[in-house]
Structure 1
Amino acid sequence: MAAASAVSVLLVAAERNRWHRLPSLLLPPRFPGLFRTWVWRQRTMKYTTTTGRNITKVLIANRGEIACRVMRTARKLGVQSVAVYSEADRNSMHVDMADEAYSIGPAPSQQSYLSMEKIIQVAKTSAAQGMRIVRSEQEFQEQLESARREAKKSFNDDAVLIEKFVDTPRHVEVQVFGDHHGNAVYLFERDCSVQRRHQKIIEEAPAPGIKPEVRKKLGEAAVRAAKAVNYVGAGTVEFIMDSKHNFYFMEMNTRLQVEHPVTEMITGTDLVEWQLRIAAGEKIPLSQEEITLQGHAFEARIYAEDPSNNFMPGAGPLVHLSTPRADPSTRIETGVRQGDEVSVHYDPMIAKLVVWAADRQAALTKLRYSLRQYNIIGLHTNIDFLLNLSGHPEFEAGNVHTDFIPQHHKELLLSRKAAAKESLCQAALGLILKEKAMTDAFTLQAHDQFSPFSSSSGRRLNISYTRNMTLKDGKNNVAIAVTYNHDGSYSMQIEDKTFQVLGDLYSEEDCTYLKCSVNGVASKAKLIILENTIYLFSKEGSIEIDIPVPKYLSSVSSEGTQGGPLAPMTGTIEKVFVKAGDKVKAGDSLMVMIAMKMEHTIKAPKDGTIKKVFYREGAQANRHTPLVEFEEEESDKRESE
């Protein structure tokens, strides 16, 4: 950049010196002729801040919650922020928060967020300052090609490295900082072991069960790594740790990680502020001796995904979104608002919930309390799964490792239980009271209190009115006989049991709450009724109860064509392995689909012959649309007749 420029350039997401780690193939030590290979790559960005220059404007080459996080600190420091966005993110939260925003192309990340030329051009214009396990030689080629495809889509680079496989390891990483004056420090470690699909789902700091001497060795090893390459700025040195707390270098990420808030919580620092000050040529704000560890912090990543369906990512609108109240010990790191859409083009993370307390057990209690207050309607989320995980006895004991979720899969993914009859009474009462509120509103508008449409109380002279209701709990219809009592209470009969129910609605912070007593037991729950579903959120958890819709009003469900597979979500067809006339067996690979930074292999649901393939490579398929059509077999014909 020309020396005469009035402002400096800082690419927050730019990589300078880096041990570069890409999606890898993990091989057991016995694999013939292959062991551990480390790839070191140095990258120097042309447009970086010069030492000693004040930063007045910063380009944030990222999106979503992390971009919003950086903007908050930039605003605190009086630094202007510049956002970049793809066509899919035009109306996103990080664009609204920025002082300036520039479009960088279509939705696919390779054509926008991963296009370095476009990022650099915005910097000039604005004058700104994953993994495969291979256990046998036969699996190698297939896993290698799959890893390369995923790497190309995610990072625009299909280079792959090979490393040693450690069975049931812990993933422990150390936050480091270096400055232009040769100083480097560590800010303790984070444990990121609990993962699904090789992606972190919950992080904590410090790592549980780590002795002070091991903690010191980890930190000092990380600092030596940073100093070895004269590292400047925020970085994360990642280690694999075995059951005996031996640790092995895995990679260095030269950026501020998504999980950095837990480090901020236990050290009382603002790492984005440190990053900006160091980029401007200042020294690290604290010496190693001045950095102290206080308390314990957890970060839970809230995703749009369906844990019961192999954590399948989802996309769609956030019809309702309410969160716990932020305070000094509770942080909500998010890049979306109610009404926003979770895009199919990017990672499905909705938010990071970060909590701090004086010790690990207190922090866990606060985490679970806050998760119950994080209420989302419109798509599947992993909130209930996170509640189950954080309450698991082994997790509470700190016995974490990267195979934690597969090992405890049954306990963490409990099958849906039938709602308690008391909960059904709450749902019925909520529906009745909502109907009453609508009737009262009509009365005020109509100015006719004697209108027959202005009464929904069910009161009768000298007799009690009984209303028969039907609610749907999962797939089961539940009949409820509701008797309207003269004192304003209700008697509700479900099967052979009768409940005395009394309650009312009230509003608090733009939300409607149901205050209810069922057989003398009082409770409070957030009540939301959308379309034909009643949602109740309480400290005990959440339930969904449907209001049955007549068949003539219900839409026809989407079904596969002649038993063919459906697209699990909206995405791009990357590979097609079959054509019309091919005979396949159940489990054979038909297609590879790329969606939300993941690769999905579509397999044949049964033996048969392909009649038609509906999509070519490169085409986009919408969720639940048929992908191929099977020839109708004679047995199928007889069954249909």
Structure 2
Amino acid sequence: MSISPTLLIANRGEIARRIIRTARAEGYSTVAVYSDADRDALHTRDADRALAIGGQTPAESYLDIDKIIAAAQKAGAAAVHPGYGFLAENAGFARACAEAGLVFIGPSAEVIELMGNKRRAKDFVANAGVPCIPGFSHSDPGGSQGDDTLMAEAQRIGFPLMIKAAAGGGGRGMRLVQDAGSFAAQLRSARSEALGAFGSDEIILEKALLDARHIEIQVFADSHGNVIHLGERDCSIQRRHQKIVEESPSPAVDAQLRERMGAAAVAAARACGYLGAGTVEFLLDRSGDFYFLEMNTRLQVEHPVTEMVTGFDLVAWQLAVARGEPLPVTQQAVTQRGHAIEVRLYAEDPENQFLPQTGPVHHWREPAGEGIRIDHALLQGSEVSPFYDPMLGKLIAWGRDREEARRRLHRALGELQLIGPKNNIHFLRQLLQQPGFVAGEATTAFLEDANWYPAQPAPDTWTQAIAAALNHERHLRAADRRSGRANWRSGDHSLPLHYQLQCDAQELHCRLACRGGHSYRVMVEGRDFDIEVRQFADRCARLTVDGVELEQRFVRVDNALFLLRDGRQWQFVDTTQAPARTALAQGSGHITAPMDGCIVEIHVQANQAVRCGDTIAVMEAMKMEHPLKADRDGTVIKLAASAGDQVRGGQLLVQIEPVEIATGATS
């Protein structure tokens, strides 16, 4: 088989950029597609050509098969790379490509269909001799999915157990159920999310293996009958059943276990007639037994760690296999050199249940150094929209051993500069220093009780003092510009100035005394700081704080000052001249949408009594369902949204009037 040198990438962001990079190096002419929301995205600039496909949401753009096929034909492409995500595991898309005479970079539609359904995949690999987790998947197509049947099967399996969407993965439609009492609610929630994400609410049940390792094996197959594996990746550290840290090799896998797991993965791939890159995922328990989870019929987000320890370019291999070429190496030639660790960068709030975030990117600078790789599609001034996954990119570090890779990654996270939506950079830095991770002992339960990362309601006094000094400098320089006189000062500056800064929900009070020029004495929470602002340029200031010289990154947006300290972003708003705040803060009873999205369920009615913490509604945004909870006891006096409504971030959904709720009495 031969393919033309024109390749269309049916994806966006860092995924499209990653594929474009190798495709161009391999001599292909590349074509990108973009939605209305991605008109100025970096992947459209990297490609040789970019075609608009319209729409904003995935359904209107990157998930519209007809639009993608039409774009490929218009561009004169003879091959389509689906990337990972969107249509990468869509059998209908692979079939449509074939019918249109386009080479689909991936396995056949039949294999995608088989492995894309967890029930059928599990039955198939079990027949191939691959060990599977005990559970319920009713292998006959007419098997019951009724609530009573599923509850009976759950009781038979025993709790805790996992509810999983049969038609998909990525953590969507997946719920951990601890006991029978919560099964019905979790089943309803999993079905709803699965239907929205995959178009099917079919589910399977599996015994929950708690405190296990999530290990995946990278497999590759060509059209000449060769099937090999490239070792394992440890993906145990997850939140919401989505991976955030991946590494290769796994600290828990020795050469003998690697051979056994690799053989099982190759057997599964060979049995289904696989072609191209795929991943067979397992759970590994403490006894060394492993069980099949699923097979991903595509390249994975975390493939760079495999590339960095093997030296192979997996996208180049995908293109070669699609051209009909044999794999470039045999199993015996595959070796692992050193260690690689990857972290996923997300626009999310780790202090608020990892809630996805949106907004403009005010400042961005990527790290560099030996053994460092970063895949991203960020651009200063770009927007993190609510229409797509909140993953911003991934940062990877290679080292001669695991500890060197860990140290390099920790340093690189500290050098990465992102000011914009809240993100998980500081969280990841702290994670890499936890004793359990340093020792290589992290399991899937690692983040269940992340008490090592408590919410910090206010920045430390050092950061507050710097914010007060820079805020004061901002006012001075604005006054200088208005007066036309540089460094103009008037009045009695021997008296301290009082500044009131708001950081999240905290009101911070600072006193600042001018000591001549740009030197200040700043008083915060009973502590004094001597600060000199030596340089004050756009986005960067040179300071001396108590004799320590430092460079401070910052961004000014309207009345807000964003500071970047130790990978953590702080936002300070000057409220010194603002009127006294009203009670519309915490516990206001105004339940608003945290971002743009769709209301899936409303759990309350007008005049209903609720307690603080009760789930009021469920909304879907950025591919995940998010429960919205009451922030006080009271009575629902207003319902401003209904199930199915598209809502904007900040929009009022439910209003609760504070009243005392009787606790009841016992006799």
State TM-score, norm by structure 2: 0.77
Mean Cα deviation higher: 170-179 or 212-221: 212-221
Q: Secondary structure at the match of 1:412?
A: coil
Give the superposition deviation at 1:565. Answer: 2.2
Aligned counterpart, 1:269: 312
Q: Secondary structure at the match of 1:58?
A: strand
| Match runs of 1:596-635 below 5 Å | 596-605=622-631, 609-630=635-656
User: Which amino acid in structure 2 is aligned with residue 412 of structure 1?
Assistant: Y
User: Which amino acid in structure 1 is aligned with residue 423 of structure 2?
Assistant: T
Alpha carbons 1:172, 1:193 under 8 Å: kept: yes
Matched, 1:573 2:573: no
Aligned counterpart, 1:411: 452
Matched, 1:482 2:490: no
User: Which amino acid in structure 2 is aligned with residue 167 of structure 1?
Assistant: L
Which of residues 403, 406, 419 is equivalent to 1:364?
406
Deviations 1:464-503 (A, max 9, x none): 85652525374243333334348x7555555765544445
Q: For 1:433 and 1:577, how far apart are their aligned partners in 2?
A: 49
Q: For 2:376 and 2:583, how far apart are their aligned partners in 1?
A: 34
Give the superposition deviation at 1:193. Answer: 0.7
Aligned counterpart, 1:517: 544
Deviations 1:134-159 (A, max 9, x none): 34445444333322221222223333
Give the superposition deviation at 1:328. Answer: 5.5
Aligned counterpart, 2:18: 69
Q: For 1:498 and 1:297, how far apart are their aligned partners in 2?
A: 44
Deviations 1:221-241 (A, max 9, x none): 222221112211111111101
Aligned counterpart, 2:128: none
Q: For 1:268 and 1:286, how far apart are their aligned partners in 2?
A: 12
Q: Extract unaligned runs of 5+ from structure 2.
A: 80-170, 662-667
Q: For 1:139 and 1:525, how far apart are their aligned partners in 2?
A: 49
Which of residues 286, 292, 299 is equivalent to 2:335?
292
Mean Cα deviation higher: 94-103 or 345-354: 94-103
Deviations 1:335-373 (A, max 9, x none): 231111111122111121111111111111111111122
Aligned counterpart, 1:550: 577
In structure 2, relative to structure 1, the CA distance for the partners of 1:582 and 1:491 (3 Å cut) is closer
Deviations 1:273-305 (A, max 9, x none): 111111111111222222221111111111111
Matched, 1:175 2:218: yes
Give the superposition deviation at 1:125. Answer: 3.5
Deviations 1:354-402 (A, max 9, x none): 1111111111111111112222223211111111111111111111111
Give the superposition deviation at 1:629. Answer: 3.6
Q: For 1:561 and 1:364, how far apart are their aligned partners in 2?
A: 41
Which of residues 84, 95, 113 is equivalent to 2:44?
95
Give the superposition deviation at 1:259. Answer: 0.7
| Match runs of 1:128-167 below 5 Å | 128=77, 129=79, 130=171, 131-167=174-210
Aligned counterpart, 2:55: 106
Which of residues 534, 543, 547 is equivalent to 1:504?
534
Matched, 1:246 2:289: yes
Give the superposition deviation at 1:456. Answer: 2.2
Q: Secondary structure at the match of 2:451?
A: helix
In structure 2, relative to structure 1, the CA distance for the partners of 1:117 and 1:548 (3 Å cut) is same
Q: Secondary structure at the match of 1:405?
A: coil
Give the superposition deviation at 1:457. Answer: 6.5
In structure 2, relative to structure 1, the CA distance for the partners of 1:479 and 1:394 (3 Å cut) is same
In structure 2, relative to structure 1, the CA distance for the partners of 1:581 and 1:105 (3 Å cut) is farther
Aligned counterpart, 2:248: 205
In structure 2, relative to structure 1, the CA distance for the partners of 1:160 and 1:110 (3 Å cut) is farther
Aligned counterpart, 1:343: 385
User: Which amino acid in structure 2 is aligned with residue 504 of structure 1?
Assistant: R
Alpha carbons 1:194, 1:200 under 8 Å: kept: yes
Q: Secondary structure at the match of 1:297?
A: strand
Q: For 1:140 and 1:150, how far apart are their aligned partners in 2?
A: 15
Alpha carbons 1:459, 1:484 under 8 Å: kept: no
User: Which amino acid in structure 1 is aligned with residue 535 of structure 2?
Assistant: L
Mean Cα deviation higher: 520-529 or 311-320: 520-529
Which of residues 209, 231, 234 is equivalent to 1:188?
231
Q: For 1:473 and 1:591, how far apart are their aligned partners in 2?
A: 29
Q: For 2:235 and 2:494, how far apart are their aligned partners in 1?
A: 58
Aligned counterpart, 2:345: 302
Q: Percent identity?
A: 39
Q: For 1:583 and 1:256, how far apart are their aligned partners in 2?
A: 49
Aligned counterpart, 2:64: 115
User: Which amino acid in structure 1 is aligned with residue 451 of structure 2?
Assistant: K
Q: Secondary structure at the match of 2:452?
A: helix
Alpha carbons 2:360, 2:382 under 8 Å: kept: yes
Alpha carbons 2:512, 2:520 under 8 Å: kept: no
User: Which amino acid in structure 1 is aligned with residue 453 of structure 2?
Assistant: L
Mean Cα deviation higher: 577-586 or 555-564: 555-564
Give the superposition deviation at 1:251. Answer: 1.0
Alpha carbons 2:9, 2:33 under 8 Å: kept: yes
Alpha carbons 1:59, 1:123 under 8 Å: kept: yes
Give the superposition deviation at 1:189. Answer: 0.8
Which of residues 346, 361, 381 is equivalent to 2:423?
381
In structure 2, relative to structure 1, the CA distance for the partners of 1:424 and 1:627 (3 Å cut) is closer
User: Which amino acid in structure 2 is aligned with residue 374 of structure 1?
Assistant: L
Give the superposition deviation at 1:308. Answer: 1.0
CA RMSD of aligned residues (A): 3.3
Q: Secondary structure at the match of 1:281?
A: coil
User: Which amino acid in structure 1 is aligned with residue 545 of structure 2?
Assistant: V
Give the superposition deviation at 1:455. Answer: 4.0
Alpha carbons 2:469, 2:522 under 8 Å: kept: no
Aligned counterpart, 2:621: 595
User: Which amino acid in structure 2 is aligned with residue 472 of structure 1?
Assistant: L
Q: For 1:257 and 1:587, how far apart are their aligned partners in 2?
A: 37
Q: Secondary structure at the match of 1:406?
A: coil
Alpha carbons 2:426, 2:567 under 8 Å: kept: no
Alpha carbons 1:457, 1:484 under 8 Å: kept: no
Deviations 1:84-118 (A, max 9, x none): 33333333222333333344453333343333344
Q: Secondary structure at the match of 1:370?
A: helix
User: Which amino acid in structure 2 is aligned with residue 568 of structure 1?
Assistant: P
The alignment covers a number of residue pairs equal to: 566
Which of residues 470, 487, 509 is equivalent to 2:499?
470
Mean Cα deviation higher: 80-89 or 374-383: 80-89
User: Which amino acid in structure 2 is aligned with residue 470 of structure 1?
Assistant: Y
Aligned counterpart, 2:273: 230
In structure 2, relative to structure 1, the CA distance for the partners of 1:340 and 1:481 (3 Å cut) is closer
In structure 2, relative to structure 1, the CA distance for the partners of 1:135 and 1:477 (3 Å cut) is closer
User: Which amino acid in structure 2 is aligned with residue 99 of structure 1?
Assistant: D
Mean Cα deviation higher: 583-592 or 335-344: 583-592
Aligned counterpart, 1:31: none
In structure 2, relative to structure 1, the CA distance for the partners of 1:204 and 1:630 (3 Å cut) is same
User: Which amino acid in structure 1 is aligned with residue 312 of structure 2?
Assistant: T
In structure 2, relative to structure 1, the CA distance for the partners of 1:615 and 1:537 (3 Å cut) is closer
Q: Secondary structure at the match of 1:618?
A: coil
Q: For 1:345 and 1:493, how far apart are their aligned partners in 2?
A: 44
Q: For 2:320 and 2:232, how far apart are their aligned partners in 1?
A: 22
User: Which amino acid in structure 2 is aligned with residue 522 of structure 1?
Assistant: E
Alpha carbons 1:466, 1:484 under 8 Å: kept: no
Deviations 1:8-63 (A, max 9, x none): xxxxxxxxxxxxxxxxxxxxxxxxxxxxxxxxxxxxxxxxxxx2x04412222222
